[in-house]
Amino acid sequence: MKIFREPSKLQKWARSRSKAGAKIALVPTMGYLHEGHLSLIAEAKKRKADEIIVSVFVNPVQFGPNEDFAKYPRDEKADLAKCRAAGATAVFFPTSENMYLKDHSVYIDEELLSKGLCGARRPGHFRGVCTVVAKLFNLAHPDFAVFGMKDYQQAQVIKRMVRDLNFDLDIVVAPIVREKSGLAMSSRNTYLSDEERVRALALSRLLKSVEAGKSVKTEKARITKALEKEGLKVDYVEFVDGETLEDVKKTAKGVCVLLAVYNGKTRLIDNRVI
């Protein structure tokens, strides 16, 4: 397995592999890898990629000033071992300094799908995500890139960026991986105390309880009340069209239910497409 730290070195290698006809998959991550990330690598393998490049980069540009950039969990040694065992052929570990030069001044703004939900609560977040993902696309020359459905809005925003800026690759969105308890896998779960872990189960439980054909107003009130009863602070409970991310009034097939809560100090998100 190759290890790259310099963007230019990854780019040179990926370009030559691409020219030689290799099918390249990119799995962008922020590291502290768990089963959810490994399922993205497995998806790349299933699609017969010759090269599977996993990028591990806690991207400072997508964190707000009061967010958890500094304390975001990092474990390079463990990530390397997991990538190797999962069948990645290359890992990219850049530093902030070599991804963003001191006078970096170009960013990508998606102006529609990124405005609500997490975008409304985390100003600048999707600008940071789009910018780093576009850079990774340019460095890794992927034929396809694999993202997780757990970040539902992110996946939609990236698909839109690829469509609107004519990036020449496919976006694959892999299903959420859950613990047996139902808790969606997330690197941020590591922040949770035992008690908070139990409280967090309300998210998947309530998502599962949503049925088609109900009034969104009633469902929102029911879910909000139940989350609050668990001791979770609700950031949002939203029901949107799975493609356009526009609000809907009735639950139906294809509607996405998205939850964001504060569990103690940890912000958790989860979703389900009905």
Active site residues: 37
Q: 145 Cβ partners below 8 Å, 6+ apart?
A: 25, 26, 27, 28, 133, 136, 137, 169, 170, 171, 172
132 touching ligand PAF, by CB under 6 A: yes
Query: According to CB under 6 A, which residues from 134 to 153 bind ligand PAF?
Result: 151
68 to 97: interface string for ligand PAF, x by CB under 6 A:
------------------------------
Residue 265: CB partners within 8 Å, gap ≥ 6? 191
Instruction: Select 203 or 216, whichever has its Cβ closest to ligand PAF.
Output: 203
> Total residues contacting ligand PAF (rule CB under 6 A)?
10
Is there binding between residue 28 and ligand PAF (CB under 6 A)? yes
133 binds ligand PAF per the rule CB under 6 A: yes
Instruction: Confirm or reject binding of residue 260 to ligand PAF (CB under 6 A).
Output: no
Q: Does 129 help bind ligand PAF (rule: CB under 6 A)?
A: yes
Q: Is 39 in the site for ligand PAF (CB under 6 A)?
A: no
Residue 189 is a binding residue for ligand PAF (CB under 6 A): no
Beta carbon nearer to ligand PAF, 59 or 189? 59
List interacting residues with ligand PAF (CB under 6 A).
28-30, 59, 62, 129, 132-133, 151, 154
